[in-house]
Structure 1
Amino acid sequence: MKSQFKAEPGHWVLIGALALALYASYLLVAPYVGAVVLAFVLSLLCFPVHQKIASRIPDKPNLVAALTCSLLVVVILVPAILVFIAIVQQGIVFTKQSYQWIEQGGAEQLMQQPVVEQTLAKFNTVLPLGQINGENIVERLAEFASGFGKEMLDISTQVLANITGLLFGFVLMLFVLFFLLRDHRKIIENLHWIIPLSRSQEEELLSEASTVARSAVLGSFLTAIAQGAAGGIAMAIVGMPGLFWGTMMAFASFIPAIGCALIWVPASIYLLLTGDWPWALFLTLWGVIVVGSIDNILRPILMQGSSSMSTLLIFLSLLGGLQLFGLIGLIYGPIIFALTHVLIRLYTIEFRDFLEKQDKS
């Protein structure tokens, strides 16, 4: 038996005031919504660990939540600081070596290779972009090498200058995470009470949101870490800074269609042109078989998980989220698509009779 709700004028006033209050509240927390969403996703990932700690220390929710957050700090923050320092060091050393290689004539010798000259000649006959010659490329490489080193120094300086803001965001995320873990059951009960849907519909919405949020993190970030680690190992084997280029591959993995090939393909071409064709072949095979397999196999498995969204919808949600919200959009996009997908399914169930009647008319 469906309950009948008859809205009175006073109800609409209350609903309007509530909508305005919610919008004003959103404006207040909008600058920090990224930290709140990240805390929500981390709470889903950390909750199994939190439950295990709670089973060992019963009836002490504050202590259990504090221990879970402390464990997260040790697992994430400390390694992140050490890795960032090592990346900056390797990046600066690599740019200095690259600039010295260009200044000592290494780039000119590379441009004088018969294969390179023939390739440039074909480009000049096909592309209406003017004459491309080795001297112009060497000049561009020199500008890029010097500019890249300056960019690395600028980025590290900006990170150090914004350390207060980064620490504030991290502390805010931990603060929100603490309460999400401690009051998990109470928050879920309040959501069930507030949302004006049936319990089964509410559970389906919340379950889909949590599933997709979890799979978005696992699918995007764990795949990026795996590809970066695999690519970094290969780069280190061929004699390049493994940690630096592995990190670049991890970031490149978020680029749709191209991904890590943006890094390992030019590196393979460089090794081939400098005469190290065995290492060039090794890096190419590694990039295609190992790094490519991680992207083609691991990402769809982790992203789809138990969610009912198709791989196409997941891809579009990642692409749109990245374009609209930036890096955090890799979480926002799948959640928005998942909730929309569930709401459409609930709509078709709720209005099935009407839709079938309309379809037959």
Structure 2
Amino acid sequence: MTDGDDASRTALRALALAVGALSVLIVVPLFQAVVLGGLLAYLAAPVNERLARRVGATAAALATTVATLAVVVAPLALLVGVAVDQAVSVVRGVEIPDTDSLAVGLREWLGAAGVPAISAGSLGDLGGIVLGGITGQITGAVGLLPTVAVGAVVTLFAFFYLLRDGDALLAWVRANGPLDASTTDELLRRTDDLLWAAVVGNVVVAALQAVLTVLGLVVVGFDDIVFWGVLTFVLSLLPLIGASFVWIPAAGYLAVTGGTVAAAGLAVYGAVVVSGSDNVVRPLAMRRGARLNPALLVVGIFGGIAVFGFLGLFVGPVVLGLGKTLVELLAADRDGARGS
């Protein structure tokens, strides 16, 4: 090996490092869109693979993309839109007690607690601050529309090309990655298990609890069931929270408003059927997936949300699970080296 070969190899590594850093900077602003496209491709891959055997990779990816938009994305967008509309209706329908008597009672309670009285001017200033904050949030949301449009386009393209070229990408990783083939295959297998547990398992359980909660609320006479269903689904994705944060307040509301029998029935139904379904369905949904330590799952979900936003629900546990897997692979390699 000559000095020229060493210099060329060093320059190639430096160039690869520089281009890699630039690539990361390019991808980071679109990270959530790319990850969302990847998650959708992961979920749709089994259907796409069967279709690709008959019509080819490109036609199958195009058909799967169109079908996903028509059957999944569009109905979900409509569902969320209806839920938002019903949320506004729920807020408007809340009966607020007489404001004068409420203000007097609040001042008396604060006075008894030793808190200085709040003047009308202070309340007006506070109201102005709140309204200003809401206005700012609305303005910011409107300003985000171009970013949302770009993210949607990137998600769509990532979804399509991962469906079409996903196998080629995995083959490229196996051939050019720094790990040997067996270690790469093991890492990919465990990643698949983690994704199944974090995405499929949690979504199935959350969807079931949302449906069961909505059925209970319909029986006791609640309206705006799309809003309650979407809210229950989102809360059920979060550990330590779940559907109980919907049916318990609902039962309390019924008890306060005079529906004692309905409140008791909803409480029993929620505790036995809704919350109990988690213990029955989750082990079945997670049978294929990796079993994450509960503490690791909680930290992964809430930490993932803090770093990645909503997608952190799924990305966080996978990242921590992969970290644990990498430590185990390193330990196995160390033990193997000692044995030899």
TM-score (normalised: structure 1): 0.75
1:126-137 equivalence runs, <5 A? 130=113
Query: Offset at 1:66?
Result: 0.4
Query: Offset at 1:164?
Result: 4.6
Aligned AA (2:96): I
1:102 to 96, 99, 103: 96
Aligned to 1:198: 180
Higher relative contact order (CA 8 A, sep 6+): 2
Aligned to 1:51: 49
Matching of residue 168 in structure 1 with residue 162 in structure 2: no
Instruction: Give the direction of change, closer, same or farther, for the CA distance of 1:255–1:54 in structure 2 (3 Å limit).
Output: closer
Aligned to 2:229: 246
Describe the SS at the equivalent of 1:183.
Answer: helix
Aligned to 2:88: 92
CA distance in 2 between counterparts of 1:155 and 1:264 reads 30
CA distance in 1 between counterparts of 2:290 and 2:260 reads 44
Describe the SS at the equivalent of 1:326.
Answer: helix
Aligned AA (1:320): G
Aligned to 2:30: 32
Runs of 4+ in 1 over 4 A off after TM superposition: 7-10, 153-164, 353-357
Aligned to 1:82: 78
Matching of residue 317 in structure 1 with residue 300 in structure 2: yes
Aligned AA (2:18): L
| Residues 117-141 of structure 1: per-residue CA shift (max 9 Å, x gap) | xxxxxxx9xxxx9289xxxxxxxxx
Q: Percent identity?
A: 26
Asked if 2 retains the 8 angstrom alpha-carbon contact of 1:304 and 1:310, the reply is: no
> Mean alpha-carbon deviation: is it higher for 223-232 or for 172-181?
223-232
Query: Offset at 1:199?
Result: 0.8
Asked if 1 retains the 8 angstrom alpha-carbon contact of 2:195 and 2:289, the reply is: no
Aligned to 1:231: 213
Instruction: Give the direction of change, closer, same or farther, for the CA distance of 1:24–1:161 in structure 2 (3 Å limit).
Output: closer
Aligned AA (1:322): I
Aligned AA (2:65): C
Instruction: Give the direction of change, closer, same or farther, for the CA distance of 1:46–1:13 in structure 2 (3 Å limit).
Output: same
Structure 1 stretches lacking a partner, 5+ long: 1-6, 113-123, 133-142
| Residues 310-354 of structure 1: per-residue CA shift (max 9 Å, x gap) | 444333322322233222112221221232222222212211156
Query: Offset at 1:8?
Result: 4.4
CA distance in 2 between counterparts of 1:284 and 1:308 reads 30
CA distance in 1 between counterparts of 2:144 and 2:220 reads 35
Describe the SS at the equivalent of 1:351.
Answer: helix
Matching of residue 287 in structure 1 with residue 270 in structure 2: yes
TM-score (normalised: structure 2): 0.80
Query: Offset at 1:301?
Result: 4.6
1:256-335 equivalence runs, <5 A? 256-299=239-282, 301-303=284-286, 305-307=288-290, 309-335=292-318
Asked if 2 retains the 8 angstrom alpha-carbon contact of 1:300 and 1:311, the reply is: no
1:65 to 42, 52, 61: 61
Matching of residue 207 in structure 1 with residue 203 in structure 2: no
CA distance in 1 between counterparts of 2:12 and 2:190 reads 30
Instruction: Give the direction of change, closer, same or farther, for the CA distance of 1:309–1:84 in structure 2 (3 Å limit).
Output: closer
Query: Offset at 1:154?
Result: 9.7
Query: Offset at 1:204?
Result: 0.7
| Residues 128-169 of structure 1: per-residue CA shift (max 9 Å, x gap) | x9289xxxxxxxxxx99xx99x97x99899777755543432
CA distance in 2 between counterparts of 1:286 and 1:156 reads 39
> Mean alpha-carbon deviation: is it higher for 64-73 or for 320-329?
320-329
Describe the SS at the equivalent of 2:310.
Answer: coil
Aligned to 2:13: 15
